[in-house]
Amino acid sequence: MATKRRFIGILAALVIIAAAAAVFLAAGRGDIKTVSMDLYFLNENATSIQAERMEIKYDYEEELPDKVIEALSHGVADGKNVRVMDKSVTWRISADGDRLLVDFSQGFLTKDSTRNLLATYAVVKSLCQIDGITAVKVTVEGGEIIAPDNSRIDYLTDKDINLESDSHTSENRAIKLYFADKNSGRLTVEYRTIKVTDTMPIEQYIVSELIKGPSDTSLEAVLSPDTLILSAESSDGTAYINMSQNFIDKNGGSTEKEKRAVYAIVNSVCSMPGINNVQFLIEGKKTTGFQHVDLSGILYSGDI
């Protein structure tokens, strides 16, 4: 009988210890929370991204971004949309106030730059659904992602990314682009009609088209095809064209070559109504830039 009482006492003690341990672990882990939110995945043809309403379970507010990306890597159960990245991809998230920087492993990128852009958009729009997150930047192994138009993808907000289902305006615009005549070397106009939306300034569209090169076989490009434009904006008649350092590195050399590169941009941008001159920035800063052409001041269109 004494042995039986001792056994019952030991069993009761074990039950109490187990219950206490469960309470301790629950307190350490925190109450599991569930939030319903829109996550964005690639459509079946990988031509756009679409929202899927999903429930995300998490313990702490700080781990919610990781849970969102984990869901993006697993995809949607019905298989109608494509997961944003392979499950083998890893990531690291760092926060700066209301902005997140998400750095993925190399497997995030594919050989298709358009798909890479859509995957980036999906990550940004998904994470921006979290309360308190206003902007997200995606990098790969610490390097910035390059869009199909050769621009770098910086911090983006949810409103920066317009989808077909979003309300945005688009139109066809006729633009003037300056390329070099193969015979004379002089800058010559090529007219082009492009589709633009309110997601990017017209000045950035113009420089991106210059980077693509001419359609007319009698003309030749004045910018290296891997030239990068970072951003563009205009104010009080001045267009501020922010280029990567490789604009200098890839298009420098002779006086003639540098003038063509610079004034092809200036003349093309200044052909737009309301734009009178151009201020170049390199990596966001004023600089003398080329060896033979000073970019530090305001430049006006001219015939070279």
Max intra-chain CA distance, the chain: 113
The rounded mean pLDDT for the chain is 85
Predicted local distance difference test score (pLDDT) of residue 25: 47
Predicted local distance difference test score (pLDDT) of residue 199: 63
Predicted local distance difference test score (pLDDT) of residue 24: 46
CATH 2.60.120 for the 170-282 domain, yes or no = no
- Better-scored residue on pLDDT, 113 or 285: 285
- Better-scored residue on pLDDT, 64 or 164: 64
Predicted local distance difference test score (pLDDT) of residue 80: 65
Q: Is the pLDDT of residue 221 over 60?
A: yes
Band (pLDDT 50/70/90 cuts) for residue 64 is: very high
Predicted local distance difference test score (pLDDT) of residue 123: 96
Which residues 6+ apart lie within 8 Å of 206 measured at CB? 175, 177, 265, 268, 269, 272
- pTM above threshold 0.85: no
Question: Which helix H or strand E contains 8, and what residues bound it?
Answer: helix 2-29
- Mean pLDDT along residues 188-214: 88
Domain boundary assignment for the chain: 33-160, 170-282
Q: Is the pLDDT of residue 223 over 90?
A: yes
Predicted local distance difference test score (pLDDT) of residue 159: 82
Contact 210, 265 (CB under 8 A): yes
- Mean pLDDT along residues 17-31: 51
List pLDDT tens digits, range 123-133: 999 999 999 99
Predicted local distance difference test score (pLDDT) of residue 134: 94
List pLDDT tens digits, range 256-274: 999 999 999 999 999 999 9
Q: Is the pLDDT of residue 44 over 80?
A: no
- Mean pLDDT along residues 40-65: 86
Predicted local distance difference test score (pLDDT) of residue 297: 93
Identify the burial level of 25 via C-beta atoms within 10 angstroms of its C-beta, where 0-12 means exposed, 13-18 middle and 19 or more buried.
exposed
Residue linked to tokens 């187990």? 18
